[in-house]
Amino acid sequence: MTRKSWIISMFVVLLITLGGCTFTPSPLWLVDGFDFPVGDPNGQGWAITGYAFLDWSNVSNSLHPGEDWNIPGAGNGDQGELVYAVANGEVVFSGWNTALGNVVLIKHALSPYDFVWSQYAHLDQRNVSVGEIVSRRQIIGTVGRGPENRFAAHLHFELRKADLPANAWPRTNGQAWNSTQVKDYWLNPSSFIKQNRPE
């Protein structure tokens, strides 16, 4: 680089700096709205037939941080039904968990600085890998019954406002958290999706 080119380059950088321009990298995918994880985009044909958000779970002796979705009256008939990404995002976990079975966890960018995470558990199959960029309504797995078919077939679905590990659960040293503590880390999934439907 010649001295003249170097001086011009430094002058341009100085102008950009003084002008207040900043270059903020954007995420690869920004969300364009949220759909429900099962059924059609509105969740038609499915319902929360198990534990709802913040119900007391006798299975875990704690408040339930998500929603259990099932086709009403289907029993295990919805095993193998498709599960969809609720929004554009990046897969940050796709693996096995001894408590939850097959799990997929997706990070969603609401803005370059604001994120939520969706988690899908008790899956029969996982169709995505860590690092994969997914789009809203992309098939990410199928409904299962959890580890060793422990549960009736359903989707355990969570929305989180904090970056938590896949096996996170609202208790510490066996002590269940209260609802205020849970709401510091988890969102009410159906309420959030209804408020953030695609335009």
pLDDT in tens, 144-166: 999 999 999 999 999 999 999 99
pLDDT in tens, 67-109: 999 999 999 999 999 999 999 999 999 999 999 999 999 999 9
Q: What are the structural domains, with CATH classification, of the chain?
A: 26-195 (2.70.70.10)
Q: Are 130 and 93 in contact (CB under 8 A)?
A: yes
Q: Are 102 and 96 in contact (CB under 8 A)?
A: yes
What is the sign of the dihedral through the CA atoms of 50, 52, 56 and 61?
positive
pLDDT in tens, 103-116: 999 999 999 999 99
Instruction: Assess whether pLDDT exceeds 70 at residue 57.
Output: yes
Measure the CA–CA gap between 148 and 89, rounded to whole angstroms.
29
The confidence score (pLDDT) of residue 113 equals 92
Strand partners, 174: none
Q: What secondary structure does DSSP assign to 97-135, as a single string?
A: ETTTEEEEEEEEEEETTEEEEEEEEEEEEE---TT-EE-
- pTM for the full predicted model: 0.85
